[in-house]
Amino acid sequence: MNLIPQLQKRLDRFVKQSEKNDKEYTENKKSFECYFSDRFEIDKKINGVFELQRKKIREQEFSDKQLDIWLMKIANEKKPGKLVRNIEEVRKEVNDIG
């Protein structure tokens, strides 16, 4: 999965924290309770990164749908006698103009 660069940096930071936590536990510098508590918090943060990514994707999909609706509305205003129902027609017209 390709993450947004900001989220990728955040994810990398959390992965490093997790690796450090694992290393400290294996070297007996941490108790299991402390290790597990830290690991749980890090995992929650990692999950948050993926939730943000999903939210960004949903926002982009919504934005794309809104753009399609807007283009269809404009196309229908430009051709009052012919109602445009196919977004592909509209995209083709926009590409021909641009």
d(CA 18, CA 34) in angstroms, rounded, equals 13
Question: What 3 state SS string does 32-65 have?
Answer: HHHHHHHHHHHHHHHHHHHHHHHHHHHHHHHHHH
> Which pLDDT score, from 0 to 100, does residue 18 have?
93
**57-78: per-residue pLDDT in tens?**
787 777 777 777 777 676 666 6
- pLDDT bin (cut points 50, 70, 90) of residue 16 is very high
Range of the domain at 78: 5-97
Can you give the pTM of this predicted structure? Answer: 0.58
d(CA 14, CA 45) in angstroms, rounded, equals 7
If one counts the domains in the chain, the total is 1
